[in-house]
């Protein structure tokens, strides 16, 4: 619904229309921070101005492989300066960057390579064996460029167009990045639910620029210790192949931050780089956080002054506490492949600081408060906002300038995602009076017992607080009397009794923090060796339900 | 030049396109900061949620006066909650807010009212006498609404549609602000050069939203003491009728800051409000800064913790020093009516902190470093970037997402402004290797003596450092031998000799900080009672040249 009588400004003929383009994120970076540093694993380092020039060289190298506006270029790499160059150089040409999820099975990678219409592939030597398996099923793939840290290339049956560093180094240093329509497709990647084929999400230059600006402002503007500033040193620990590293590589380059790219994630290497490169800002999933905390506990390393956003799945309070005890300033963020991704952050608000350590912990582990410019609603089935009472559940639906406008080549799923003009997250949440959101379940994971809802995420969080518990997953299992009952799968690193877990939950029931019907029976608390995960490290509840692991 | 082969994303039918609209600046403000406070002079206060509701009521009240999308609504008021409501409510209806410069002459106000096609006028009782003078020459003006602090309305010959508070209070509380094209004209106001008619600049919703985001990020992201955060308390001291209060009312509402609106500027009231309301962030022109410093010196008030951006004209180092001595954290910003306005800010950079107090002072008084997303160039006459050597002069030309795309109804001036696809500021500057810019003159004010350029701004800054000097203006005057020579007009608040001024300048020549030919002869240093100013308080050099004031 638009007001057609409103006056649309008609610029004078010579006025520059200024489309929002990824290349403009480099304006300040190059004008003011040309001598800022980017390092790969602490082993190689160069300046922003070298980065800028290499982007031009990359574009020339790809141009020689007939990459044109509209061409899809796939990348398979660990977090590297090469990946960062691709983040900018490929979309700046008008081409589409496809960040391949290297954790998928070869069959899934094949599917996404075909679905994305990838014509050129930049692939790290580590992943050549995968590509060798699927190469002959990719007739549309015209060129394979290999990425190598030392210039050497392992023996391969693949026909290669060359080695990245060699191609870039010899390419011309001038490239005129022409203006594009800001709605040009810049990036694509695939979201892997637990059902069906991977679905491709797409972001335009405009989406990416506005996500960078709004998210940066949401992290930079608060008054507390967690806020990001240009004095910070950045190291991603959410892979750059995963949801654009949550968009932070674009943000930190825009702001001119020193950037540390850690390659393949090895906890000891990450902890060493944090220390030697004086890293102060990162983001990762809870599983990696657990490894970092465990690693630092082993060595006695102090992690003070390290701000880390936790996303991908809920931040368990027990793990959050352990990280805080190591000095890390951890807090949760929320988003999905479809949402840009960041739409909320659990930074401590400047006003109304948490009353107690317990409140502070709860806030840090919450879904957070909506980012700037995000129309963040929690609604019932008729799209009415639920009361902000911290109790009433609803689905999170969103509007923002940075949401995927479709699933690639999937018109039905696209319409389902966007039904009613809001993006449906399928996350069930409650909202508190101060705007803090708490996800309580995935729509498809909700547990209903005796007519009452149980939040699997809440029960999981409480179980991880039991000393010795490493991880927990709770699903609904059929029950004759109650319809469904919660069942917990628990991984421990020390001896823990089911009765101890149950007692811990009952303590919370007695303190009126948990409903009695949310506590699994003792025979429904099962200690297992491992909880099944999806390719991106999330608990695979579909598999848990279909094939629950045996007791360890 | 666009790449037409690039893939433009085609959203699925139900996807929300998210135009960038002023109403979205309220999303977080209302969701997270509904209980935040806005006060008018410390005498009246309400919450953000009241503000939000009153915007809807204002829209209904204006709707009853047949304000529709495309209607221009003029406002003449001091800085008030009413003005803030107009900043949002009027453009959110699809109408155009026209911020009338109340310092113009009645004839100029008449001109701008006609030129802007204003149909409705909201006018504070203080300005009724002006409107009475011009009302019968404004046949297109359909309604006059009077604004009054206490509800009383002075006797007037004007036919009034009502009093603002009464109209707003009785209006319905629901208003559905429909989506608009983001290029809808949101605001217009007039720039008054020293020649010709005032020229109307226009900004769309998109311009305003992107200016708010980019400027906020430029002020929030640095690491130093000057950075803005959501913990700050904001009070504008650049009038809201002047270049949208430099865009900060939009920024601070977006971020949820406590907001203090001081009404008409009275130095004692401003200083009192700073203290009682604990104001920590403001912006003003040097003339006001001088009044504040002088006022605080009288009372012995300490102004520590007050961040103040200085713009409108150059920040003289002497005044900057005096403000720093009072504890104020002052630094310059730069922009024009045509530029959104903010395009650069002289915040201390996080890295490479100034080496000395002298360096710090120089940086704070500089034109600053380009804001995010601003393509800020200093170019020669052939549009080539001048070397970043701090010496070579060029004109500042700009591209940003927030520049006026035209002068209203002035196609030739619009094309002149935008010739070659860059906005021409007519400001002559040098750029340093680290990206810091220093304006040295206005294009039309440049002084050329014996074939060499003299920076009038530089000489003015040095003269104001002489103890007892209040203000200085330097122009070029004809000289038979040298073509032109600099001449200084100096206002003092204590006895100062011309020889002292000249000696001070010669000291700088001896220290190689100034060229000898930039020092005016003793007879060209004239002490005057007053320096002529434009309506917005800038030195009127045209008048200085045409009718130089007599020696005091």
Q: What is the pLDDT of residues A38-62, one digit of tens each?
A: 999 999 999 999 999 999 999 999 9
> Given a cut of 70, is residue A299 above it in pLDDT?
yes
- Residue A76 corresponds to which tokens in the numbers above? 């398979």
| Beta-strand runs (E) in B360-505 | 369-370, 375-379, 394-399, 423-431, 437-442, 447-449, 452-454, 469-479, 483-492
- Per-residue pLDDT of B293-327, as tens digits, reads 999 999 999 999 999 999 988 899 999 999 999 99
pLDDT for B507 equals 94
pLDDT for A1 equals 38
- Classify the C-alpha dihedral B419-B424-B430-B434 as positive or negative: negative
With 0-12 CB in 10 A as exposed, 13-18 as middle and 19+ as buried, what is A184? Answer: buried
- Classify the C-alpha dihedral B534-B539-B545-B548 as positive or negative: positive
pLDDT for A2 equals 42
Chosen for mutation from B18, B343, B367, B383 (greatest number of chain A CBs closer than 10 Å) is B18
> If pLDDT is split at 50, 70 and 90, which confidence band does B2 have?
very low
Query: Active-site residue among B125, B156, B191, B294?
Result: B191
Question: Does B508 map to a domain?
Answer: yes
Give the CATH number for residue B152: 3.40.50.12780
- Per-residue pLDDT of A404-436, as tens digits, reads 999 999 999 999 999 999 999 999 999 999 999
> Given a cut of 80, is residue B5 above it in pLDDT?
no
pLDDT for A351 equals 64
Give A 465-484 residues with CB within 8 A of chain B: none
Query: What distance in Å separates the CA atoms of residue B291 and residue B309, rounded to the nearest whole number?
Result: 15
Q: What is the ipTM of this complex?
A: 0.91
pLDDT for B453 equals 81
Residues of A with active-site annotation: 191, 338, 448, 453
Contact: A27, B214; criterion CB under 8 Å: no
pLDDT for B352 equals 65
Question: Does A527 map to a domain?
Answer: yes
pLDDT for A5 equals 60
Domain check: are A236 and A300 in the same one? yes
Domain check: are A157 and A236 in the same one? no
Domain check: are A189 and A209 in the same one? no
Domain check: are A194 and A223 in the same one? no
pLDDT for B445 equals 83
Question: Does A389 map to a domain?
Answer: no
Q: CA of A177 to nearest chain B CA: how many angstroms apart?
A: 10
pLDDT for A431 equals 97
Domain check: are A190 and A217 in the same one? no
| Neighboring chain A residues of B217 at a CB cutoff of 8 Å | 213, 216-217, 220, 255
Mark which of B173, B202, B231 sits at the end of a domain. B202
pLDDT for B41 equals 97
Residue A246: left (phi > 0), alpha (psi -120 to 50), or beta?
Answer: left
| Neighboring chain A residues of B9 at a CB cutoff of 8 Å | 183-185, 202, 204, 405-406
Question: Does A420 map to a domain?
Answer: yes
Name the one residue in this structure whose structure tokens are 């160069």: A46
- Per-residue pLDDT of A478-494, as tens digits, reads 988 888 899 999 999 88
Mark which of A202, A229, A249 sits at the end of a domain. A202
pLDDT for B1 equals 38
Question: Does B436 map to a domain?
Answer: no
pLDDT for B99 equals 98
Domain check: are A169 and A213 in the same one? no
pLDDT for B539 equals 87
Give the count of domains, chain B. Answer: 2
Give me the residue from A1, A222, A372 closest to B229, CB to CB: A222
Q: What is the pTM of this model?
A: 0.91
| Residue A433 touches partner B, C-beta closer than 8 Å | no
> Given a cut of 90, is residue B193 above it in pLDDT?
no
Mark which of B167, B202, B237 sits at the end of a domain. B202
Average pLDDT (A358-362) is: 92
For chain A, the average pLDDT equals: 93
> Given a cut of 80, is residue B349 above it in pLDDT?
no
Query: What distance in Å separates the CA atoms of residue A174 and residue B485, rounded to the nearest whole number?
Result: 45
Question: Does B70 map to a domain?
Answer: yes
**How far from the centroid of its chain's Cα atoms is residue A144's Cα?**
27
Side-by-side strand order, sheet with A423-431: A375-379, A394-399, A423-431, A437-442
Query: What distance in Å separates the CA atoms of residue B426 and residue B429, rounded to the nearest whole number?
Result: 10
For chain B, the average pLDDT equals: 93
Question: Does B264 map to a domain?
Answer: no
Give the CATH number for residue B472: 3.30.300.30
| Residue A349 touches partner B, C-beta closer than 8 Å | yes
> If pLDDT is split at 50, 70 and 90, which confidence band does A223 have?
confident
pLDDT for A3 equals 44
Pairing of strands A185-191, A96-99: parallel
Lowest mean pLDDT among A19-33, A242-256, B421-435, B508-522: B508-522
Domain check: are A193 and A116 in the same one? yes
| Residue B420 touches partner A, C-beta closer than 8 Å | yes
Domain check: are A345 and A270 in the same one? yes
- Per-residue pLDDT of A261-291, as tens digits, reads 999 999 999 999 999 999 999 999 998 999 9
> Given a cut of 90, is residue B153 above it in pLDDT?
no
> Given a cut of 50, is residue B3 above it in pLDDT?
no
Give me the residue from A184, A231, A411 closest to B8, CB to CB: A184
Pairing of strands B329-335, A72-76: unpaired
> If pLDDT is split at 50, 70 and 90, which confidence band does A152 have?
confident
| Neighboring chain A residues of B418 at a CB cutoff of 8 Å | 12, 14-16
Question: Does B463 map to a domain?
Answer: yes
pLDDT for A513 equals 83
Give A 125-144 residues with CB within 8 A of chain B: none
Can B453 be counted among the known catalytic residues?
Answer: yes
Average pLDDT (A257-264) is: 97
Query: What distance in Å separates the CA atoms of residue A126 and residue A266, rounded to the nearest whole number?
Result: 15
> If pLDDT is split at 50, 70 and 90, which confidence band does B197 have?
confident
Q: What is the span of the domain harbouring residue A278?
A: 205-366+404-424
> If pLDDT is split at 50, 70 and 90, which confidence band does B513 have?
confident
């Amino acid at each position: 619904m638009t007001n057609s009588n409103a006056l649309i400004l008609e610029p004078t003929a010579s006025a520059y229309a200024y489309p929002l383009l990824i290349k403009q994120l480099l304006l300040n970076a190059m004008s003011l921070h040309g001598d800022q540093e980017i390092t790969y694993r602490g082993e190689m380092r160069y300046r922003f101005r070298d980065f800028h020039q290499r982007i031009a060289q990359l574009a020339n190298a790809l141009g020689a492989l007939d990459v044109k506006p509209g061409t899809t270029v796939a990348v398979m790499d660990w977090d590297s300066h090469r990946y960062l160059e691709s983040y900018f150089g490929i979309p700046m040409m008008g081409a589409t960057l496809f960040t391949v999820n290297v954790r998928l099975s070869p069959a899934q990678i094949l599917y996404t390579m075909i679905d994305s219409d990838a014509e050129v592939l930049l692939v790290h030597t580590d992943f050549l064996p995968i590509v060798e398996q699927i190469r002959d099923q990719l007739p549309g793939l015209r060129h394979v460029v290999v990425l190598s840290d030392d210039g050497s290339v392992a023996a391969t049956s693949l026909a290669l167009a060359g080695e990245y560093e060699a191609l870039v180094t010899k390419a011309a240093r001038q490239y005129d990045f022409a203006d594009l329509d800001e709605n040009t497709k810049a990036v694509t990647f695939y979201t892997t639910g637990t059902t069906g084929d991977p679905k491709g999400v797409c972001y335009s230059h405009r989406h990416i620029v506005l996500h960078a600006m709004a998210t940066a402002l949401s992290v930079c503007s608060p008054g507390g210790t967690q806020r990001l500033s240009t004095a910070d040193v950045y190291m991603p620990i959410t892979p750059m192949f995963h949801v654009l590293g949550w968009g932070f590589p674009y943000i930190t380059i825009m702001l001119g931050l020193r950037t540390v790219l850690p390659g393949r994630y090895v906890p000891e290497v990450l902890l060493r780089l944090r220390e030697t490169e004086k890293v102060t800002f990162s983001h990762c999933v809870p599983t990696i956080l657990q490894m970092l905390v465990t690693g630092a506990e082993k060595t006695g390393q102090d992690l003070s002054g390290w701000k880390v956003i936790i996303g991908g799945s809920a931040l368990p309070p027990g793990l959050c506490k352990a990280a805080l005890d190591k000095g890390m300033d951890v807090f949760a963020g929320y988003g999905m492949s479809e949402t840009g991704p960041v739409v909320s952050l659990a930074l401590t608000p400047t006003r109304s600081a948490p009353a107690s350590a317990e409140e502070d912990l709860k806030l840090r582990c919450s879904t957070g408060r909506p980012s700037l410019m995000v129309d963040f609603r929690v609604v019932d089935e008729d799209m009415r906002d639920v009361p902000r009472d911290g109790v009433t559940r609803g689905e999170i639906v969103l509007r923002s300038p940075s949401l995927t406008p479709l699933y690639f080549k999937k018109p039905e799923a696209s319409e389902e995602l966007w039904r009613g003009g809001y993006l449906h997250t399928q996350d069930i949440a409650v909202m508190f009076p101060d705007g803090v959101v708490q996800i309580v379940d995935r729509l498809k994971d909700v547990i209903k017992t005796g007519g009452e809802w149980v939040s699997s995420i809440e029960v999981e969080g409480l179980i991880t607080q039991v000393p010795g518990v490493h991880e927990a997953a709770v699903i609904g299992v059929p029950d004759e009397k109650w319809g469904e009952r919660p069942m917990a799968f628990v991984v421990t690193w020390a001896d823990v009794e089911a009765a101890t877990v149950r007692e811990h939950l009952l303590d919370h029931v007695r303190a009126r923090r948990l409903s009695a019907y949310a506590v699994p029976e003792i025979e429904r608390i099962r200690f297992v060796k491992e909880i099944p995960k999806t390719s991106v490290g999330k608990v695979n509840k579909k598999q848990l339900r279909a094939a629950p692991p045996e007791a360890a």
